Amino acid sequence: MSGVGPDTPATPEAAKGSSNLFMRVVAALIMAPLTIAIVWIGGWPWACIVIAAAALLYFEWLMIVGASGNRFAVVAGIAALAIAGICLMMRRTDLALGIVAVGIALAAVAARGQRGWVASGLVYAAAALIASIVVRRDADLGFVALMFVLLVVWVTDIGGYFAGRGIGGPKLWPRVSPKKTWAGAIGGLVLGLAIAAVFAWLGFGAMLPLLLLGAVLSIVSQLGDLFESAIKRRFDVKDSSHIIPGHGGLLDRLDGFVAAIVFAALIGFMRGGLDGVGRGFMVW
């Protein structure tokens, strides 16, 4: 019978896993405070970051589906996202939606045999762009609502990672994402509920509604992660890119956030209108 003692050399897989975890932690320690600072500032600094992120999301999507070499589709989509972001900050949401629609049409025409995939990539990036800006631009609770979404998504990812690795057990959806487990999904959900409880305790909303929102956001963010995994598996791609050490591409990092922020924006808009998306989402 063999065992692993203190002097047993680590396997290449274990060493790679430790290195990847270290890079993930370092990247998170750098990106999280910077993101929070820009969210706090809001306004044009936040809009510029969101526009750049949306453009990169779109380009990484094109890389996954094999359409990044189509320069016209790339330029049309990125230009539409940039102009739409500017229109949103000028509170011309109607014009922003029109620009996005034109961009989708132009990119799809240029894509020829991949029109559906290219168009869906621009819809995905535009949804992230619009939701991220309209939630934050709420003067009353925009910052609180955006931080609530961000923190729930972050801790869901953290809880899923450590619970999945530490507990293991049955796989969540092995055909789409072989590494994700039910233990990880539940661990992420529990931490999402904890964040919601903290926000309620701090007086940012009623306990029960925020717990429900925290639970739904956690689930939605995990579904967003699975959605992106399904797209990558469809095209046999491991990472959307390698721009973030230990995390892969921006799309790999923001897949859960995109789903969660779009959900939050829709709920907030239905309850508070375009000028009260944050309040509409947080106050029940």
Q: Is the pLDDT of residue 67 over 90?
A: yes
Arithmetic mean of pLDDT, 85-102: 97
Question: What pLDDT score does 2 carry?
Answer: 39
Average pLDDT, the chain: 89
Band of the pLDDT at 73, cuts 50, 70, 90? very high
pTM: 0.89
Of residues 181, 173, 267, the one with CA closest to residue 227? 173
Of residues 48, 113, 111, the one with CA closest to residue 77? 111
Question: What pLDDT score does 104 carry?
Answer: 97
Looking at the chain, the whole-number percentage of residues with pLDDT higher than 70 is 88
Strand partners, 146: none
* Nearest-angstrom CA–CA distance, 66 and 61: 9
Count CA atoms closer than 13 A to 20's CA, side-chain side.
Answer: 10
Question: What pLDDT score does 279 carry?
Answer: 96
Question: What pLDDT score does 43 carry?
Answer: 96
Q: What pLDDT digit, counting tens, does each position of 213-252 carry?
A: 999 999 999 999 999 999 998 998 876 666 665 556 889 8
Arithmetic mean of pLDDT, 262-267: 98
